[in-house]
């Protein structure tokens, strides 16, 4: 993708990757490289596919797909997706399949029951004519419950137990959340009043936390747009200089590791040094 096209619309994921590591951003978005997913990424994709299929059925028929069918969808997408995983580390396909089947059943009971989806995996864009650029994002799902407003929801899967302290911190200070870029962006794109994170924890005891965050005010939206503007300029500067530094590698960021980055080995060979695997 050429730089002018890339900076025309920036999403939270693009902005986050650029802030994390310029070199990773360059390889993924400018060169179009895709590395094999980790086991956790493959699991998350399969789970998202099952949720999306269930919600699309909810739009078509008025009822989210039943648990048994969702489990079959997850199993099929997982069995296909796990074929792309090259490094399993301490994970195993069989136990992860069992975890996903249990977790999607939990999702159907706790989330899917009683919701009325209105959109699924919607790619939204908004232009700002005075600036010549805009923002974009892919919204997992929007829905209404039996009563109440339309809600924007984003699904997260994790292997780490979601502690009540994490939930309280997210509700109290959502600007510090792991996905703080998504909340103002989706608020700009949808104009909806409520945002929910559905944090789906796999493991021996699968669980789902619903973290509701009120949609942010104008000040936070303006702050997000300022971040996007800086990201656009950073991309242009890097492209002009031809220098896309491995900033995550240099800073020792925890995501700069074999587990989380497909280009980790390239950086180790190119830039020297070592990082924990």
- Residue 79 shares a structural domain with residue 181: yes
- Residue 85 shares a structural domain with residue 9: no
Question: Is 220 within the bounds of a domain?
Answer: no
- Residue 49 shares a structural domain with residue 7: no
Question: Is 97 within the bounds of a domain?
Answer: yes
DSSP 158-210: ESS---HHHHHHHHH-GGGSTTTTHHHHHHHHH--SEEEEEEEE-SSS-EEEE
Question: Is 168 within the bounds of a domain?
Answer: yes
Summarised one tens digit per residue, pLDDT across range 129-151 is 888 899 999 999 999 998 788 99
- Residue 64 shares a structural domain with residue 197: yes
Residues contacting residue 192 through CB under 8 Å, at least 6 positions apart: 142, 149, 150, 151, 152, 186, 215
Summarised one tens digit per residue, pLDDT across range 31-71 is 998 887 889 889 999 999 999 999 999 999 999 999 999 99
- Residue 177 shares a structural domain with residue 248: no
Question: Is 219 within the bounds of a domain?
Answer: no
Report how far residue 276's alpha carbon sits from residue 181's, in angstroms, rounded to the nearest whole number.
Answer: 28
Question: Is 276 within the bounds of a domain?
Answer: no
At 177, the pLDDT band (50, 70, 90 cuts) reads very low
Among 189, 214, 239, the domain boundary falls at 214
The least confident of 47-56, 58-67, 97-106, 156-165 is 156-165
- Residue 25 shares a structural domain with residue 49: no
pLDDT at 97 over 50: yes
- Residue 19 shares a structural domain with residue 47: no
Report how far residue 133's alpha carbon sits from residue 229's, in angstroms, rounded to the nearest whole number.
Answer: 9
The secondary structure of residue 83, as a DSSP letter, is G
Question: Is 89 within the bounds of a domain?
Answer: yes
- Residue 154 shares a structural domain with residue 200: yes
Question: Is 145 within the bounds of a domain?
Answer: yes
The structure tokens listed for 197 are 């994170």
- pLDDT value at position 78? 97
- Residue 206 shares a structural domain with residue 81: yes
- Residue 93 shares a structural domain with residue 116: yes
Q: Which of 144-148, 153-157, 191-195 has the highest mean pLDDT?
A: 153-157
- The parent domain of residue 246 ranges over 3-34+225-271
| Total number of domains in the chain | 2
Question: Is 114 within the bounds of a domain?
Answer: yes
The least confident of 49-63, 109-123, 125-139, 210-224 is 210-224
- Residue 160 shares a structural domain with residue 119: yes
Among 214, 235, 257, the domain boundary falls at 214
- Residue 45 shares a structural domain with residue 138: yes
CATH code, 140: 3.90.320
């Amino acid at each position: 993708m050429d730089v002018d096209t890339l900076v025309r619309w920036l999403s939270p994921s693009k902005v986050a990757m650029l802030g994390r590591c310029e070199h990773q951003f360059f390889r993924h978005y400018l060169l179009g490289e895709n590395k094999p997913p980790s086991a956790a990424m493959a699991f998350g994709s399969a789970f998202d596919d099952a949720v999306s299929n269930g919600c699309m059925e909810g739009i078509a028929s008025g009822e989210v797909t039943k648990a048994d069918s969702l489990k079959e969808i997850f199993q099929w997408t997982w069995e296909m997706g796990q074929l792309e995983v090259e490094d399993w580390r301490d994970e195993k396909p069989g136990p992860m399949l069992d975890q996903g089947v249990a977790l999607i059943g939990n999702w159907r009971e706790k989330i899917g029951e009683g919701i009325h989806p209105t959109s699924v995996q919607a790619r939204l864009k908004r232009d700002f004519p005075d600036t010549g650029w805009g923002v974009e994002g892919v919204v997992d799902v929007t829905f209404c419950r039996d009563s109440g407003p339309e809600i924007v929801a984003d699904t997260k899967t994790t292997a780490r137990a979601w502690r009540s302290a994490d939930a309280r911190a997210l509700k109290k200070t959502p600007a510090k959340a792991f996905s703080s870029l998504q909340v103002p962006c989706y608020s700009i794109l949808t104009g909806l009043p409520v945002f929910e994170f559905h944090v789906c924890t796999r493991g021996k005891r699968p669980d789902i936390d619903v973290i509701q965050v009120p949609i942010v005010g104008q000040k936070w939206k303006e702050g997000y747009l300022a971040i996007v503007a800086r990201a656009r300029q950073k991309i242009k500067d890097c492209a002009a200089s031809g220098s896309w530094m491995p900033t995550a590698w240099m800073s020792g960021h925890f995501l700069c590791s074999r587990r989380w980055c497909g280009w980790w080995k390239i950086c180790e060979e190119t830039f020297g040094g070592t990082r924990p695997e």
